[in-house]
Amino acid sequence: MSAVQSRSNSLRWVYAAAWLPWLAMYAAALVANGIPLGFAARNAVANVLPDALLGLAVLRLPRRLPWPEERRARFFAAHGGALAAFLIASAAGWALLVGLDELLFKGSFAVHLNPRVVPFRALNDALIYCTLAGISYAWNNAAARREQAALAARAEALRARAELAAMRSQLNPHFILNTFHALVGLVRREPAIAEESLERLGDLLRYSLRIHRLQLDEVELREEWSFVQSYLDLERLRLGDRLRLSLDAPASTLSCMVPCFALQTLVENAIRHAVAPRAAGGCVTVSARQVAERLCIQVEDEGAAGAAPAEPASDDHGLGLRLLQERLAALHRGAASLTLVATAAGGVRAVLDLPARQAREAT
Protein backbone atom coordinates (compact mmCIF):
# COMPACT_ATOMS: atom_id res chain seq x y z
CA MET A 1 0.00 0.00 0.00
CA SER A 2 1.36 3.40 -0.98
CA ALA A 3 1.82 6.26 1.47
CA VAL A 4 -0.99 8.21 -0.24
CA GLN A 5 -3.45 5.30 0.11
CA SER A 6 -2.46 4.76 3.75
CA ARG A 7 -3.00 8.45 4.51
CA SER A 8 -6.37 8.38 2.71
CA ASN A 9 -7.51 5.37 4.76
CA SER A 10 -6.40 7.07 7.96
CA LEU A 11 -8.43 10.17 7.07
CA ARG A 12 -11.53 8.02 6.46
CA TRP A 13 -11.22 6.52 9.92
CA VAL A 14 -10.77 9.97 11.43
CA TYR A 15 -13.86 11.18 9.57
CA ALA A 16 -15.92 8.24 10.80
CA ALA A 17 -14.72 8.70 14.38
CA ALA A 18 -15.61 12.39 14.27
CA TRP A 19 -19.30 11.52 13.89
CA LEU A 20 -19.42 9.29 16.99
CA PRO A 21 -19.69 12.16 19.52
CA TRP A 22 -22.53 13.70 17.51
CA LEU A 23 -24.28 10.31 17.32
CA ALA A 24 -23.91 9.85 21.09
CA MET A 25 -25.26 13.34 21.85
CA TYR A 26 -28.22 12.76 19.52
CA ALA A 27 -29.12 9.50 21.28
CA ALA A 28 -28.59 11.06 24.72
CA ALA A 29 -30.96 13.92 23.83
CA LEU A 30 -33.64 11.45 22.77
CA VAL A 31 -33.22 9.38 25.95
CA ALA A 32 -33.48 12.59 27.99
CA ASN A 33 -36.87 13.18 26.36
CA GLY A 34 -38.18 9.82 27.59
CA ILE A 35 -37.47 7.65 24.54
CA PRO A 36 -36.21 4.10 25.30
CA LEU A 37 -32.49 3.60 24.79
CA GLY A 38 -32.74 1.05 21.95
CA PHE A 39 -35.20 3.11 19.94
CA ALA A 40 -33.20 6.30 20.67
CA ALA A 41 -30.02 4.66 19.37
CA ARG A 42 -31.73 3.50 16.16
CA ASN A 43 -33.35 6.91 15.69
CA ALA A 44 -29.98 8.61 16.16
CA VAL A 45 -28.42 6.37 13.49
CA ALA A 46 -31.29 7.16 11.11
CA ASN A 47 -30.71 10.89 11.59
CA VAL A 48 -26.89 10.92 11.55
CA LEU A 49 -25.96 8.23 8.99
CA PRO A 50 -27.40 10.04 5.89
CA ASP A 51 -25.57 13.23 6.83
CA ALA A 52 -22.32 11.32 7.37
CA LEU A 53 -22.53 9.58 3.99
CA LEU A 54 -23.56 12.73 2.13
CA GLY A 55 -20.78 14.60 3.94
CA LEU A 56 -18.22 12.63 1.93
CA ALA A 57 -19.57 14.31 -1.21
CA VAL A 58 -19.55 17.72 0.48
CA LEU A 59 -15.87 17.29 1.34
CA ARG A 60 -15.10 16.86 -2.38
CA LEU A 61 -16.91 20.05 -3.42
CA PRO A 62 -13.77 22.26 -3.47
CA ARG A 63 -12.45 20.16 -6.37
CA ARG A 64 -15.59 20.82 -8.45
CA LEU A 65 -16.37 24.28 -7.08
CA PRO A 66 -13.00 25.92 -6.32
CA TRP A 67 -13.04 29.16 -4.39
CA PRO A 68 -13.31 31.94 -7.00
CA GLU A 69 -11.33 35.16 -7.20
CA GLU A 70 -14.32 36.83 -8.83
CA ARG A 71 -17.94 36.07 -9.87
CA ARG A 72 -18.72 34.81 -6.39
CA ALA A 73 -22.47 35.15 -6.97
CA ARG A 74 -22.35 32.07 -9.20
CA PHE A 75 -20.27 30.29 -6.59
CA PHE A 76 -22.75 30.86 -3.79
CA ALA A 77 -25.68 30.10 -6.10
CA ALA A 78 -24.08 26.75 -6.91
CA HIS A 79 -23.69 26.04 -3.22
CA GLY A 80 -27.31 27.01 -2.67
CA GLY A 81 -28.31 24.32 -5.13
CA ALA A 82 -25.92 21.84 -3.53
CA LEU A 83 -27.38 22.64 -0.10
CA ALA A 84 -30.94 22.06 -1.35
CA ALA A 85 -29.87 18.70 -2.83
CA PHE A 86 -28.16 17.83 0.46
CA LEU A 87 -31.32 18.61 2.47
CA ILE A 88 -33.54 16.58 0.15
CA ALA A 89 -31.17 13.60 0.00
CA SER A 90 -30.67 13.65 3.78
CA ALA A 91 -34.42 13.74 4.41
CA ALA A 92 -34.94 10.89 1.95
CA GLY A 93 -32.23 8.82 3.62
CA TRP A 94 -33.70 9.51 7.05
CA ALA A 95 -37.20 8.49 5.87
CA LEU A 96 -35.84 5.33 4.28
CA LEU A 97 -34.02 4.28 7.46
CA VAL A 98 -37.07 5.04 9.64
CA GLY A 99 -39.22 2.95 7.30
CA LEU A 100 -36.74 0.08 7.39
CA ASP A 101 -36.71 0.29 11.20
CA GLU A 102 -40.52 -0.03 11.22
CA LEU A 103 -40.31 -2.97 8.84
CA LEU A 104 -37.73 -4.82 10.91
CA PHE A 105 -39.27 -4.24 14.34
CA LYS A 106 -43.03 -3.91 13.56
CA GLY A 107 -43.39 -5.90 10.36
CA SER A 108 -44.57 -3.10 8.03
CA PHE A 109 -42.81 -0.31 6.15
CA ALA A 110 -44.16 3.01 7.43
CA VAL A 111 -42.81 6.51 8.04
CA HIS A 112 -44.49 8.49 10.78
CA LEU A 113 -43.60 12.12 10.06
CA ASN A 114 -43.82 14.65 12.88
CA PRO A 115 -44.17 18.12 11.28
CA ARG A 116 -42.40 19.71 14.24
CA VAL A 117 -39.23 17.71 13.41
CA VAL A 118 -38.92 19.03 9.83
CA PRO A 119 -37.62 22.56 10.66
CA PHE A 120 -35.17 21.15 13.20
CA ARG A 121 -33.84 18.59 10.70
CA ALA A 122 -33.54 21.22 7.97
CA LEU A 123 -31.62 23.58 10.26
CA ASN A 124 -29.45 20.77 11.58
CA ASP A 125 -28.61 19.51 8.08
CA ALA A 126 -27.88 23.04 6.84
CA LEU A 127 -25.43 23.59 9.72
CA ILE A 128 -23.77 20.25 9.00
CA TYR A 129 -23.44 21.12 5.30
CA CYS A 130 -21.94 24.54 6.03
CA THR A 131 -19.56 23.12 8.64
CA LEU A 132 -18.28 20.36 6.36
CA ALA A 133 -17.96 22.73 3.38
CA GLY A 134 -16.08 25.26 5.52
CA ILE A 135 -13.70 22.61 6.84
CA SER A 136 -13.13 21.24 3.35
CA TYR A 137 -12.37 24.66 1.83
CA ALA A 138 -10.07 25.53 4.73
CA TRP A 139 -8.24 22.20 4.33
CA ASN A 140 -7.87 22.60 0.58
CA ASN A 141 -6.76 26.21 0.86
CA ALA A 142 -4.13 25.21 3.43
CA ALA A 143 -2.93 22.40 1.16
CA ALA A 144 -2.80 24.80 -1.80
CA ARG A 145 -0.77 27.26 0.23
CA ARG A 146 1.62 24.54 1.35
CA GLU A 147 2.04 23.47 -2.28
CA GLN A 148 2.60 27.06 -3.37
CA ALA A 149 5.13 27.54 -0.57
CA ALA A 150 6.94 24.36 -1.64
CA LEU A 151 6.96 25.49 -5.27
CA ALA A 152 8.17 28.94 -4.23
CA ALA A 153 10.93 27.40 -2.11
CA ARG A 154 11.97 25.17 -5.00
CA ALA A 155 11.92 28.12 -7.39
CA GLU A 156 14.01 30.13 -4.94
CA ALA A 157 16.49 27.27 -4.60
CA LEU A 158 16.74 26.93 -8.38
CA ARG A 159 17.13 30.70 -8.72
CA ALA A 160 19.88 30.75 -6.11
CA ARG A 161 21.59 27.81 -7.81
CA ALA A 162 21.41 29.59 -11.15
CA GLU A 163 22.80 32.75 -9.56
CA LEU A 164 25.68 30.83 -8.02
CA ALA A 165 26.46 29.19 -11.36
CA ALA A 166 26.40 32.57 -13.10
CA MET A 167 28.59 34.17 -10.44
CA ARG A 168 31.01 31.25 -10.58
CA SER A 169 31.33 31.60 -14.35
CA GLN A 170 31.86 35.37 -14.00
CA LEU A 171 34.46 35.21 -11.24
CA ASN A 172 36.74 32.73 -12.94
CA PRO A 173 37.19 34.76 -16.19
CA HIS A 174 37.70 37.87 -14.06
CA PHE A 175 40.63 36.21 -12.31
CA ILE A 176 42.05 34.74 -15.52
CA LEU A 177 41.92 38.07 -17.33
CA ASN A 178 43.77 39.74 -14.46
CA THR A 179 46.43 37.02 -14.57
CA PHE A 180 46.90 37.31 -18.34
CA HIS A 181 47.14 41.06 -17.95
CA ALA A 182 50.01 40.57 -15.50
CA LEU A 183 51.79 38.23 -17.94
CA VAL A 184 51.65 40.57 -20.92
CA GLY A 185 54.54 42.70 -19.65
CA LEU A 186 56.69 39.66 -18.84
CA VAL A 187 56.48 38.07 -22.29
CA ARG A 188 58.61 40.73 -23.93
CA ARG A 189 60.86 41.70 -21.02
CA GLU A 190 61.60 38.29 -19.47
CA PRO A 191 60.49 35.35 -21.65
CA ALA A 192 61.91 32.71 -19.28
CA ILE A 193 59.98 34.08 -16.34
CA ALA A 194 56.91 34.35 -18.55
CA GLU A 195 57.22 30.66 -19.43
CA GLU A 196 57.48 29.70 -15.78
CA SER A 197 54.52 31.93 -15.06
CA LEU A 198 52.44 30.13 -17.68
CA GLU A 199 53.22 26.82 -15.95
CA ARG A 200 51.93 28.30 -12.69
CA LEU A 201 48.89 29.54 -14.54
CA GLY A 202 48.29 25.97 -15.72
CA ASP A 203 48.16 24.85 -12.08
CA LEU A 204 45.61 27.53 -11.34
CA LEU A 205 43.49 26.62 -14.34
CA ARG A 206 43.40 22.96 -13.33
CA TYR A 207 42.00 23.94 -9.94
CA SER A 208 39.54 26.30 -11.60
CA LEU A 209 38.40 23.65 -14.09
CA ARG A 210 37.84 21.21 -11.22
CA ILE A 211 35.62 23.77 -9.53
CA HIS A 212 33.58 24.21 -12.71
CA ARG A 213 33.43 20.52 -13.61
CA LEU A 214 32.19 19.50 -10.16
CA GLN A 215 30.03 22.65 -9.87
CA LEU A 216 31.46 23.41 -6.45
CA ASP A 217 30.43 26.52 -4.58
CA GLU A 218 32.51 25.81 -1.49
CA VAL A 219 35.81 24.08 -0.70
CA GLU A 220 37.84 23.52 2.45
CA LEU A 221 39.96 26.46 3.56
CA ARG A 222 43.13 24.36 3.08
CA GLU A 223 42.26 23.86 -0.61
CA GLU A 224 41.64 27.56 -1.07
CA TRP A 225 44.90 28.37 0.68
CA SER A 226 46.82 25.92 -1.53
CA PHE A 227 45.28 27.61 -4.56
CA VAL A 228 46.27 31.03 -3.18
CA GLN A 229 49.85 29.83 -2.70
CA SER A 230 50.02 28.91 -6.40
CA TYR A 231 48.59 32.31 -7.22
CA LEU A 232 51.21 33.96 -5.00
CA ASP A 233 53.99 32.03 -6.74
CA LEU A 234 52.77 33.62 -9.93
CA GLU A 235 52.64 37.07 -8.38
CA ARG A 236 56.11 36.71 -6.84
CA LEU A 237 57.55 36.13 -10.31
CA ARG A 238 56.32 39.61 -11.09
CA LEU A 239 56.80 41.35 -7.73
CA GLY A 240 59.74 39.41 -6.29
CA ASP A 241 60.64 40.20 -2.69
CA ARG A 242 58.28 43.14 -2.70
CA LEU A 243 55.49 40.72 -1.88
CA ARG A 244 55.43 39.31 1.63
CA LEU A 245 52.61 37.25 3.05
CA SER A 246 51.92 35.41 6.27
CA LEU A 247 49.19 32.95 7.23
CA ASP A 248 48.01 32.51 10.80
CA ALA A 249 45.35 29.81 10.97
CA PRO A 250 44.86 26.96 13.47
CA ALA A 251 44.70 23.52 11.89
CA SER A 252 41.05 23.15 12.93
CA THR A 253 40.00 26.08 10.74
CA LEU A 254 41.57 24.58 7.60
CA SER A 255 38.80 21.99 7.36
CA CYS A 256 36.06 24.65 7.40
CA MET A 257 34.21 25.35 4.17
CA VAL A 258 34.65 28.67 2.37
CA PRO A 259 33.32 29.93 -0.98
CA CYS A 260 35.55 29.04 -3.92
CA PHE A 261 37.99 31.84 -4.83
CA ALA A 262 36.95 33.82 -1.72
CA LEU A 263 40.41 33.99 -0.13
CA GLN A 264 42.09 34.47 -3.51
CA THR A 265 39.80 37.42 -4.26
CA LEU A 266 40.69 39.15 -0.98
CA VAL A 267 44.43 38.48 -1.34
CA GLU A 268 44.41 39.65 -4.97
CA ASN A 269 42.59 42.83 -3.95
CA ALA A 270 45.19 43.56 -1.27
CA ILE A 271 48.11 42.96 -3.66
CA ARG A 272 46.66 45.12 -6.42
CA HIS A 273 45.94 48.09 -4.18
CA ALA A 274 48.48 47.92 -1.36
CA VAL A 275 51.53 45.99 -2.60
CA ALA A 276 51.93 46.48 -6.34
CA PRO A 277 51.73 50.34 -6.22
CA ARG A 278 54.52 50.59 -3.58
CA ALA A 279 58.14 50.56 -4.62
CA ALA A 280 58.99 48.78 -1.39
CA GLY A 281 56.10 46.40 -1.72
CA GLY A 282 54.24 45.34 1.38
CA CYS A 283 52.98 42.55 3.57
CA VAL A 284 49.60 40.90 3.37
CA THR A 285 48.52 39.05 6.52
CA VAL A 286 45.89 36.34 6.42
CA SER A 287 44.40 35.05 9.67
CA ALA A 288 41.58 32.65 10.41
CA ARG A 289 39.81 32.11 13.72
CA GLN A 290 36.89 29.93 14.74
CA VAL A 291 34.77 31.25 17.60
CA ALA A 292 31.87 29.00 18.57
CA GLU A 293 29.99 28.30 15.33
CA ARG A 294 31.52 31.18 13.36
CA LEU A 295 34.60 31.33 11.13
CA CYS A 296 36.32 34.70 10.78
CA ILE A 297 38.93 35.20 8.03
CA GLN A 298 40.85 38.48 7.89
CA VAL A 299 43.08 39.71 5.08
CA GLU A 300 44.99 42.85 6.07
CA ASP A 301 47.37 45.00 4.04
CA GLU A 302 49.61 47.95 4.86
CA GLY A 303 47.92 50.35 2.47
CA ALA A 304 49.23 52.10 -0.64
CA ALA A 305 51.91 54.71 0.01
CA GLY A 306 50.49 58.22 0.10
CA ALA A 307 46.90 57.09 -0.44
CA ALA A 308 43.97 57.01 1.94
CA PRO A 309 42.57 53.52 2.47
CA ALA A 310 39.32 52.96 0.62
CA GLU A 311 37.40 50.27 -1.16
CA PRO A 312 38.26 50.18 -4.87
CA ALA A 313 35.70 52.17 -6.82
CA SER A 314 36.36 51.19 -10.42
CA ASP A 315 34.30 48.44 -12.02
CA ASP A 316 37.34 46.30 -12.77
CA HIS A 317 38.84 46.54 -9.30
CA GLY A 318 35.56 46.10 -7.42
CA LEU A 319 34.06 43.28 -9.50
CA GLY A 320 35.62 40.44 -7.52
CA LEU A 321 34.51 41.89 -4.18
CA ARG A 322 30.97 42.53 -5.39
CA LEU A 323 30.66 39.03 -6.79
CA LEU A 324 31.96 37.58 -3.53
CA GLN A 325 29.39 39.55 -1.53
CA GLU A 326 26.60 38.34 -3.83
CA ARG A 327 27.77 34.75 -3.56
CA LEU A 328 27.82 35.00 0.24
CA ALA A 329 24.23 36.27 0.16
CA ALA A 330 23.12 33.43 -2.13
CA LEU A 331 24.99 30.72 -0.20
CA HIS A 332 24.25 31.76 3.37
CA ARG A 333 21.05 33.87 3.15
CA GLY A 334 22.32 36.72 5.32
CA ALA A 335 24.32 34.50 7.70
CA ALA A 336 27.67 35.60 6.19
CA SER A 337 29.21 38.99 5.53
CA LEU A 338 32.22 40.72 4.00
CA THR A 339 33.32 44.07 5.40
CA LEU A 340 36.29 46.34 4.68
CA VAL A 341 37.73 48.27 7.62
CA ALA A 342 40.43 50.95 7.56
CA THR A 343 43.29 50.16 9.94
CA ALA A 344 45.19 52.60 12.10
CA ALA A 345 48.35 51.95 10.06
CA GLY A 346 46.63 53.20 6.88
CA GLY A 347 45.80 49.84 5.39
CA VAL A 348 42.60 47.93 4.83
CA ARG A 349 41.36 44.87 6.68
CA ALA A 350 38.88 42.65 4.83
CA VAL A 351 36.81 40.62 7.30
CA LEU A 352 34.98 37.57 6.03
CA ASP A 353 32.54 36.24 8.65
CA LEU A 354 30.60 33.05 7.90
CA PRO A 355 29.25 29.90 9.58
CA ALA A 356 31.95 27.41 10.55
CA ARG A 357 30.91 24.28 8.66
CA GLN A 358 32.92 21.13 8.07
CA ALA A 359 32.85 19.34 4.72
CA ARG A 360 30.48 16.60 5.97
CA GLU A 361 28.02 19.27 7.20
CA ALA A 362 27.99 21.08 3.86
CA THR A 363 26.98 18.03 1.80
Question: Distance between CA atoms of 89 and 94, rounded to whole angstroms?
Answer: 9
Are residues 266 and 299 in contact, defined by beta-carbon separation less than 8 angstroms? yes
Same domain, 104 and 44: yes
**Dihedral of the CA atoms 82, 87, 90, 95 (nearest 10)?**
-150
Same domain, 214 and 311: yes
Q: Is 212 part of any domain? A: yes
Q: Is 31 part of any domain? A: yes
| Closest of 126, 56, 114 to residue 88, by C-alpha | 126
Same domain, 275 and 332: yes
Question: Distance between CA atoms of 266 and 217, rounded to whole angstroms?
Answer: 17
Q: Is 63 part of any domain? A: yes
- Domain CATH code at residue 317: 3.30.565.10
Query: What pLDDT, on the 0 to 100 scale, is given for residue 318?
Result: 65
Kind plus residue range of the DSSP H or E element containing 45: helix 37-59
Same domain, 262 and 186: yes
Same domain, 317 and 203: yes
Provide the 3-class DSSP secondary structure of residue 335.
coil
Q: Is 142 part of any domain? A: no
Domain count across the chain? 2
Same domain, 241 and 350: yes
Q: Where are the beta strands (DSSP E) in the chain?
A: 218-220, 243-248, 257-259, 282-291, 294-300, 337-342, 348-355
Same domain, 323 and 180: yes
Query: What pLDDT, on the 0 to 100 scale, is given for residue 29?
Result: 85
**CB-side neighbour CA atoms (13 Å) of 11:** 10
Average pLDDT of adjacent 10-residue blocks, the chain of 363 residues: 63 84 86 86 87 88 80 83 90 87 80 75 88 88 83 61 53 63 73 79 81 84 88 79 86 90 88 84 90 92 59 50 82 88 88 87 54
Same domain, 226 and 323: yes
Same domain, 234 and 91: no
C-alpha distances out from residue 164 to 223, 244, 268, 324, Å: 19, 32, 21, 10
Q: Is 224 part of any domain? A: yes
Are residues 336 and 354 in contact, defined by beta-carbon separation less than 8 angstroms? yes
Q: Is 95 part of any domain? A: yes
Q: How many residues appear in the chain?
A: 363
Same domain, 83 and 165: no
Query: What pLDDT, on the 0 to 100 scale, is given for residue 156?
Result: 62
The domain boundary residue, chosen from 78, 113, 148? 113
Query: What pLDDT, on the 0 to 100 scale, is given for residue 194?
Result: 77
Same domain, 77 and 177: no
Query: What pLDDT, on the 0 to 100 scale, is given for residue 305?
Result: 54
Are residues 323 and 329 in contact, defined by beta-carbon separation less than 8 angstroms? no
Provide the 3-class DSSP secondary structure of residue 338.
strand
Q: Is 301 part of any domain? A: yes
Same domain, 201 and 314: yes
Query: What pLDDT, on the 0 to 100 scale, is given for residue 313?
Result: 37
Are residues 23 and 51 in contact, defined by beta-carbon separation less than 8 angstroms? no
C-alpha distances out from residue 86 to 7, 26, 58, 97, 121, Å: 27, 20, 9, 16, 12
Residue type, 30: L
Q: Is 65 part of any domain? A: yes
Task: State the distance between the two ends of the chain, measured CA to CA, in whole angstroms.
Answer: 32
Domain range for 245 is 157-362
* C-beta contacts of 203-210 below 8 A and 24+ residues apart: 203/230, 204/175, 204/179, 204/230, 204/231, 204/234, 205/176, 208/172, 208/175, 208/176
